[in-house]
């Protein structure tokens, strides 16, 4: 590597400006960076070397916590703003890559194609990325990953927060799907679960950070997150489409007159509880949760329990507005059938070329994260249509998309986006446990609600 001292000085100047490098640490840090660069053999720095340099330039976790806590004492937003910018500057949040993701708003949904998350074609590399072998962590989201080199977490920084009187921590996602996307993780490695404390924890979180939403995936496979072994929530600064959906029906509960309950006008099945009273929200959320877990309606295909275990679950997701706490309870069911082996209330097979993976918390709220391969595939389909070329055999699974876009008038790219949004809305309808909102009203009336 040429001009090595010049490069070191550049890094140090960067750390002075953006990473709050203490003047008293400068000589030490400079020599550490020099050493890493001296050992580098390639023309360009590898991801590992870059990580190592940025970790060396970053404050130690204790200093990060000190600053975060001091800001949090008076202003949660200021604390998160500072921490987020820090994680962008220390290269943990790959913002420049995220900004390259195609993204559009259509038919009430936000749709993104996630190119930022590397697609590991080499299974060995993927294994390394997800492995915690040789480290102190029990899983990929344990706090013990902070600084763990074998998973490129050298420059990861986390901050501790208190939820429900317990220790949790917050970290931003390197390949986040939306504005300031992060996860709140229990400091203890305990399985995902939802109970009364979940509602309280979520409210504690938005009390600390009222500019964020926070939610939990359903704690069952096929309908939720990929990490069920460790309790965690997802949140961030974006107002997602479901948050803005209005009420199809408004109800009141006889015992909780300070709560407005809304059957949300949304393609999924969502009940929204709105109140300024925390205790009422957590009590009524628990009533709905317990009723849903045991609810069965064979006619609608809702099987609560069979040989495989329980199938009903909820995804609660919360934000704070001028109306108070808005607790959205998304009703989910993960039962499978012969006809739908991937899930009765999952994206049906005719849409799998667009999205086959679980429809988790983020998609259920109207932000669809589609696989990176689609960018190329959809561009190719657009070219075929523009040039009036027939659909080749290897693209047979896209026949529906091709046929629909072909007969749409106007700009082909826009027509393609309309079609993708239409499919995503159909997927949301597939996940709805109550296809008719009146069925959901009846479910609530049985729990003591009135229209
Ligand atoms: Zn863990």
Q: What is the 205 CA–ligand 1 centroid distance (Å)?
A: 20
Whether pLDDT at 314 is above 70 = yes
DSSP β-bridge partners for residue 233: 184
Residue 186 Cα, ligand 1 centroid: separation in angstroms?
Answer: 8
CA 142 / ligand 1 centre spacing (Å): 4
Ligand 1 centroid from CA 136, angstroms: 10
pTM > 0.75: yes or no: yes
CA 137 to ligand 1 centroid distance, Å: 6
Average pLDDT over residues 19-41: 96
Reply yes or no on whether the pLDDT at 237 is more than 80: yes
* 150 pLDDT higher than 90: no
d(CA 415, CA 409): 8
Q: How far is CA 69 from CA 65, 165, 202, 398, in A?
A: 6, 16, 19, 51
CA quadruple 173, 106, 432, 286: dihedral positive or negative? positive
The residue assigned the tokens 């429900």 is: 164
pLDDT at position 125? 61
* Ligand 1 center from residue 252 Cα (angstroms): 40
Question: What confidence score (pLDDT) does residue 118 get?
Answer: 59
Per-residue pLDDT tens over the stretch 366-393: 999 999 999 999 999 999 999 999 999 9
Contact by Cβ (8 Å): 56, 29:
yes
From the CA atom positions of the chain, what is the Rg in Å? 24
150 C-alpha to ligand 1 centroid (Å): 16
270 strand-pairing partners: 330
Per-residue pLDDT reduced to its tens digit, 98-123:
888 899 999 999 999 988 765 555 55
Within 24-122, residue ranges assigned H as helices are 26-39, 47-57, 61-72, 76-89, 95-98
Q: What H or E segment, with its residue span, contains residue 402?
A: helix 399-407
Nearest residue to 445 (alpha-carbon basis) of 270, 301, 253: 253
How many angstroms does the Cα of residue 277 sit away from the middle of ligand 1? 33
Q: CA triplet 292, 295, 297: central angle to 5 degrees?
A: 135
**How far, in Å, from the CA of 373 to the mean position of ligand 1?**
30
b/e map of 264-285 (b: 16 or more CB within 10 Å)?
bebbbbbbbbbbeeeebbbbbb
Question: CA 146 from chain center: how many Å?
Answer: 20
CA of residue 129 to ligand 1 center, whole Å = 15
Tell me how far the alpha carbon of residue 259 lies from the centroid of ligand 1, in angstroms. 36
Percent of the chain with pLDDT over 90: 86
Alpha carbons within 13 A on the beta-carbon side of 426:
14
Chain segment 67-99, per-residue pLDDT in tens: 999 999 999 999 999 999 999 999 999 988 888
- Over 80: is that where the pLDDT of 124 sits? no
Q: Give the mean model confidence (pLDDT) for residues 193-211.
A: 97
Q: Which two tokens stand for residue 435?
A: 């296809």
For residue 187 the two structure tokens come to 């400091």
Q: How far does the centroid of ligand 1 lie from the alpha carbon of residue 139, in Å?
A: 4
193 alpha carbon to ligand 1 midpoint, in Å? 14
Banded model confidence at residue 225, pLDDT cuts 50, 70, 90: confident
In the three-class reduction of DSSP (H, G, I as helix; E, B as strand; rest coil), residue 445 is classed as helix
- Which strands sit side by side in the sheet containing 159-163, from one edge to the other? 159-163, 166-172, 182-186, 232-236, 213-215, 312-321, 324-333, 270-275, 256-264, 247-253, 449-450
């Amino acid at each position: 590597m040429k001009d090595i001292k010049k490069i070191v000085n550049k890094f140090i100047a960067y750390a002075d400006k953006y990473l709050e490098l203490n003047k008293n640490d400068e000589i030490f840090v400079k020599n550490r960076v020099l050493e890493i660069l001296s050992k580098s053999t390639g023309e360009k720095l590898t991801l590992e070397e870059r990580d190592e340099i940025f970790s060396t330039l970053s404050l130690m976790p204790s200093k990060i916590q000190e600053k975060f806590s001091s800001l949090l004492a008076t202003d949660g937003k200021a604390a998160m703003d500072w921490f987020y910018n820090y994680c962008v500057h220390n290269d943990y949040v790959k913002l420049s890559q995220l900004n390259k993701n195609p993204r559009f708003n259509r038919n009430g949904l936000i749709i993104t194609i996630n190119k930022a998350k590397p697609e590991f074609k080499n299974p060995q590399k993927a294994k390394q990325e997800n492995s915690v072998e040789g480290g102190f962590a029990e899983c990929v989201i344990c706090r013990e990953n902070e600084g763990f080199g074998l998973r490129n977490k050298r420059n990861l920084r986390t901050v501790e927060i208190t939820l429900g009187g317990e220790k949790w921590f917050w970290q931003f996602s390197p390949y986040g799907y939306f504005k300031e996307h992060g996860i709140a993780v229990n400091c203890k490695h305990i399985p995902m679960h939802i109970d009364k404390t979940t509602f309280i924890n979520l409210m504690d979180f938005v009390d600390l950070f009222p500019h964020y939403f926070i939610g939990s995936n359903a704690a069952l496979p096929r309908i939720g997150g990929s990490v069920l072994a460790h309790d965690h929530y997802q949140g961030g600064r974006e107002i997602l489409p479901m948050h803005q959906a209005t009420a199809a029906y408004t109800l009141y509960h006889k015992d909780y007159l300070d709560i407005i309950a809304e059957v949300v006008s949304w393609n999924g099945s969502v009940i929204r509880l709105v109140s300024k009273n925390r205790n009422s929200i957590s009590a009524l959320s628990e009533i709905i949760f317990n009723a849903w877990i045991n609810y069965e309606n064979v006619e609608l295909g809702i099987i609560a329990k069979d040989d495989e275990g329980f199938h009903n679950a909820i995804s609660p997701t919360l934000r704070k507005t001028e109306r108070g706490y808005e607790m959205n309870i998304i009703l989910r069911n993960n039962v499978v059938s012969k006809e739908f082996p991937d899930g009765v209330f999952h994206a049906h097979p005719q849409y799998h070329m667009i999205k086959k993976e679980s429809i988790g918390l983020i998609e259920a709220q109207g932000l669809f994260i589609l696989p990176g391969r689609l960018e190329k595939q959809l561009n190719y389909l657009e070219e075929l249509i523009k040039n009036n070329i027939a659909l080749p055999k290897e693209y047979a699974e896209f026949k529906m998309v091709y046929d629909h876009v072909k007969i749409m008038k106007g700009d082909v790219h826009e027509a393609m986006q309309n079609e993708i949004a239409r499919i995503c809305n159909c997927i949301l309808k597939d996940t709805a446990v109550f296809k008719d909102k009146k069925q959901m009203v009846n479910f609530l009336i049985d729990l003591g609600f009135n229209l």
